[in-house]
Amino acid sequence: DAGITQSPRHKVTETGTPVTLRCHQTENHRYMYWYRQDPGHGLRLIHYSYGVKDTDKGEVSDGYSVSRSKTEDFLLTLESATSSQTSVYFCAISESSSNYGYTFGSGTRLTVV
Amino acid sequence: TQLLEQSPQFLSIQEGENLTVYCNSSSVFSSLQWYRQEPGEGPVLLVTVVTGGEVKKLKRLTFQFGDARKDSSLHITAAQPGDTGLYLCAGSSGSARQLTFGSGTQLTVLP
């Protein structure tokens, strides 16, 4: 019972194509986050959600959009994938405010060729 | 933008040695968390500290939050190969709805 699952785990796509990554939770947590992790940069926030249809931008949101139509699902879309978006993407959930810690998914490794 | 700097970036030690990892910022945080990440997996929360000067222990791991709530340290006693991983600190400003992460310390404990 992972509580949070990401799909797909791995994806290779071509430059210019749209890509959607999915994060699904079974914890009914209010907050959901998308991060990317790159060597030397740690985890950088792309977008986050604090409720259904309530989302906000993070520090590296250019080229990405998100949607949250249900509590359990948070989708990250790369409108037109570029090589600079090759990265490992992590989804995280939080029950309350950020003081209480995040539970992370296992990540999606995306390669844009 | 709040920044968290971790040091050292890489650390390779022998089994049984002690080590300390540091997390520093010029900003004040309402809480600070430590995570450990293993290859191919997401970070896993180890501890949250919220009070200046607070010390928490988790078996051989000791976490301290600075008095001014701008820095934190993680000390591991008698390191074991199972401690190998990427250690990340993350801070919350309280009013923010998201965490700021440090760039991490890659620890390797050799048998």
Residue A98 to residue B31, Cβ atoms within 8 A: yes
Nearest to A39 by CA among B92, B37, B12, B66: B37
E strand spans, chain A:
4-7, 10-13, 19-25, 31-38, 42-51, 54-57, 64-70, 73-78, 87-94, 103-104, 108-112
Distance CA(A88)–CA(A39), nearest Å, equals 10
pLDDT of residue B23: 96
Chain B: residue whose CA lies nearest to A31 = B97
pLDDT of residue A101: 84
Q: How confident is the model at residue B96 (pLDDT cuts 50, 70, 90)?
A: low
Residue B97 to residue A48, Cβ atoms within 8 A: yes
Instruction: Write out residues 31-70 of B within 8 Å (CB-CB) of A.
Output: 31, 33, 40-45, 48, 50
* pLDDT tens sequence across A73-107: 999 999 999 999 999 999 999 987 666 789 999 99
Q: Does B88 touch chain A (CB under 8 A)?
A: yes
Cβ neighbours of B103 in A, within 8 Å? 40-42
For A6, A64, B13, B47, B66, the CA distances from B57, given in Å and listed in that order, are 32, 40, 21, 9, 15
Distance CA(A44)–CA(B84), nearest Å, equals 23
